[in-house]
Homo-oligomer: A and B are copies of this chain.
Amino acid sequence: MGDDAAVVRARPICVTSVDAMVEGVHFRLSEDWVTAGQVGRRSLAAALSDLAAMGAEAGEAYLVVGLPAGFGEERGLELLRGAMSLAAQTGTAIVGGDVVSAPALMVCVTVVGWAESADELVGRDGAIPGDLVGVTGSLGGAGAGLAVLEGRVPAAPGREAVLARFREPTPRLAEGRALAAAGVHALIDVSDGIATDARHLGRASGVQLRVDLGALPLGEGVSEVCAELDMPAWKLAADGGEDYELCFCVAPSERVHVEEAVNGARGEAGGAGVTWIGRVVEGPPGVVLLDERGQDLRIEGFEHLL
């Protein structure tokens, strides 16, 4: 610290991801929406989730914060404390950064993770026909929280649970490492909604993921918000972003092994657990979403149909 750059003793494989959040684009800043501390936490969480999706161990983080005129030192420090709290929780060291003036609040986070060998990591491209499709934790909470914040469901029960999920996400780092060690074939984080992220995984692997919408694990309060919105209960779980769960494909023989590995990784944050939501088949690469009657809702373009 104090020199022109941060110096870190490396491990053999370096895994790096960058992520940016901009006020007015990715969030609105107010006590009703998110606090400055939550902006700090969310920005770091989104970047760390990419390391989780590789099975890497979190190492260092670098924060660039763009502060608008009048933002104030106190809120700047609150933002940093929000990031530092998640850093401590995940074993990440914030070792560098920069503060600049900007027309709106923006946070750009670089995270560096490490592995002892490339074999420890998992990409998106290894799924094979016959694999099971699993997901950690629960889905839809962040999307439901966003719907509440946007005023679309002011009276919904479950409001507090979904707001917390939106405001204070937790990247699944321990679960990601456990899944990689358990031999999953492909892994991705659910940042854009599982309909989209499962499609990315399917395309990268050249296979088709058939996902049962009725099997999606709904976060607390999600079905209540969907009811208020007059949507099927799986809608926000399939389409809502920023849950930061992990979606993976693995041989059926590893089913119990994977469940035990993920359960064993549950940390203070409460942990995730595994839900099996579909299977991998040969076919046009991507995702097929099946409703309760087993009918295809789409192959592509889901977001435009509903």
Contacts of A63 in B (CB 8 A): 18
Cβ B17 vs Cβ A96 within 8 A: yes
Enumerate chain B residues within 8 angstroms of A60, measured Cβ to Cβ.
16
A124 touches B25 (CB 8 A): no
Task: List residues of A (92-126) whose CB comes within 8 Å of B's CBs.
Answer: 95-98, 100-104, 106, 108, 110, 112-114, 118, 121, 123-125
Q: 8 Å CB contacts to B: which residues of A1-39?
A: 2-22, 24-26
Oligomer: number of copies = 2
**In-complex Cβ contact of A98 among B11, B13, B19, B101 (8 A):** B19
Cα distance, A83 to B4, chains bound together (Å): 21
Interface of A, secondary structure class, is: strand
In Å, the complex CA distance between A284 and B71 comes to: 36
Contact B18 A102 (CB under 8 A): no
Q: A5-B54, A25-B101 are in contact. Are A108 and B64 (CB under 8 A)?
A: yes
- In this complex, what residue of B is CB-closest to A118? B7
A62 CB within 8 Å of chain B: yes
CB closest chain-B residue, reference A22: B102
Interface residues on A, range: 35 or more
Q: Are B14 and A54 in contact (CB under 8 A)?
A: no
Choose one: B7, B53, B110; the contact of A4 (CB below 8 Å).
B53
Q: Collect the chain B residues with CB atoms within 8 Å of residue A5's CB.
A: 15-17, 50-51, 53-54, 56, 113
Q: Are A10 and B7 in contact (CB under 8 A)?
A: no
**With A13-B9, A54-B5, A188-B4 as contacts: A18 and B97 at CB distance below 8 Å:** yes
Q: Are B62 and A4 in contact (CB under 8 A)?
A: no
Instruction: Report B-chain residues with C-beta under 8 Å of the C-beta of A168.
Output: none
Residue of B whose beta carbon sits closest to that of A97: B18
Q: Smallest distance from the beta carbon of A63 to chain B beta carbons, Å?
A: 8
Residues of A within 8 A of B (CB): 2-22, 24-26, 49-51, 53-54, 56, 60, 62-64, 66, 95-98, 100-104, 106, 108, 110, 112-114, 118, 121, 123-125, 188-189, 204
Some 22 contacts from A to B, beta carbons below 8 A apart, are A3-B204, A4-B50, A4-B188, A5-B15, A5-B16, A5-B17, A6-B15, A7-B13, A7-B14, A7-B121, A8-B15, A9-B118, A10-B11, A10-B12, A10-B14, A18-B63, A18-B64, A18-B96, A20-B98, A22-B100, A22-B103, A102-B104
The 10 closest A-B pairs by CB, nearest first: A5-B17, A4-B53, A108-B108, A10-B10, A4-B50, A110-B110, A10-B14, A3-B123, A18-B62, A8-B14
